[in-house]
Structure 1
Amino acid sequence: MTGRVYGRMTLAAAAVLLVACGPGKLRLNVKSPPGTNLGRPLYMLVRQVDPKQYANEEYSEVASKVGSPDKSVLQTAVLYPGTIQRFQVRPPEEGALAVSFLFTAPDGNWQLLLTPPLPSAVDVELTVSRILTDSVPPAIPSQAPSGAPPVPEAPKPPGA
């Protein structure tokens, strides 16, 4: 293979990687130790949600979306205990995201709500039957679109 052809293939591979990992995607890293879900695989759903409806959702209502996903479901995956799995999710233009973990017998927090502005990455650690930890980095303020009015400064305390 000549250097020119090899160079084009390398450039094409780099372009594919940039598109696959490009901006506008949420990186979701899920750590599930061996005892997660009593050693059984479990489903994860990533959905667009209204925060008010999210607060009132029943486990069975969310679980039914695995077999019959509606337009709110952005991604489903099977998680295997004893693994760290990484996902990339393209969030919707607007709205919040719910990341739901469908444990066989949930005991505690089984969902995570991510509200705008969405972070670029989220790390979640699971335990036997609930979310153990979630780590969401602080949002980086985005620049206002050109032509947008400037954001006013926060008021200064008296005497400052």
Structure 2
Amino acid sequence: MSTRMYRLTALAAMALLSGCAASQINLNVKSPPGTNLGRPMYMLVRQVDPKQYANEAYSEVAAKVGAPDNTVLQTSVIYPGTIQRFQVKTPKEGALAVSFLFTAPDGNWQLLLSPPVTSAVDIELTVSRILNDSTPPALPQDEQAAPEAKPPEEGGFKMPEMPKEMPKLPGLPGAK
């Protein structure tokens, strides 16, 4: 199991053990200037069945922007070079999928939030994928703070280096 999957699984387990689910979720999306090659893109927040989510194609999800069904909770435009905040009402049943419709996705383009959903999620994007996410565990109303997280052990997960220069893609200005 990858370090990222382990981290997400551990966070989901902590959320399950902590009790209360939030009735709404605050999504904080950080989109650096080079995100999506500098072009705006759509974010789609949907209620999903985790089994169905695992088998969805990018084209199926993208089609819901123009023709939303009753699972779509929010559609928003994400602008590169911004930090945007959204409040989304959580459904009583099912998980949430937060999908980012990159022009040319390369890696994780969506995130699954299983119940009980936490009150806030920080998502950082990169050129063509979700760079990382920070999902704090859901806290019962009477608790004030989560326990301190331990730093990763020596030799743990390291973020890959970003390219110093963007690749030239055919059809774009400056491409050959």
- Post-superposition Cα deviations, 1:37-80, rounded to whole Å, max 9, x if no partner, equal 00000000000000000000000000000000000000000000
Alignment match, 2:148 = none
TM-score by length of 2: 0.67
Give 1 or 2 for the bigger CA radius of gyration: 1
Letter of the aligned partner of 1:113 in structure 2? L
- Unaligned runs of 5+ residues in structure 1 are 1-22, 144-160
Alignment match, 2:65 = 66
How far the C-alpha of 1:25 sits from its partner, in A, is 1.3
The whole-number CA distance in structure 2 between the counterparts of 1:141 and 1:90 is 18
Alignment match, 2:96 = 97
Alignment match, 2:118 = 119
Alignment of 1:32-71 (within 5 A): 32-71=31-70
How far the C-alpha of 1:138 sits from its partner, in A, is 1.5
The whole-number CA distance in structure 1 between the counterparts of 2:82 and 2:67 is 27
Root-mean-square deviation over aligned CA pairs? 1.3
SS at match of 2:63: helix
Letter of the aligned partner of 2:45 in structure 1? V
Report the identity percentage.
79
Alignment match, 1:140 = 139
The whole-number CA distance in structure 2 between the counterparts of 1:104 and 1:49 is 23
SS at match of 1:54: helix
How far the C-alpha of 1:139 sits from its partner, in A, is 2.3
SS at match of 1:101: strand
How far the C-alpha of 1:141 sits from its partner, in A, is 4.7
Give structure 1 regions of 4+ aligned residues with deviation exceeding 2 angstroms: 139-143
- Post-superposition Cα deviations, 1:72-98, rounded to whole Å, max 9, x if no partner, equal 000000000000000000011111000
The whole-number CA distance in structure 1 between the counterparts of 2:57 and 2:85 is 27
Letter of the aligned partner of 2:82 in structure 1? T
Alignment match, 1:10 = none
The whole-number CA distance in structure 1 between the counterparts of 2:119 and 2:105 is 27
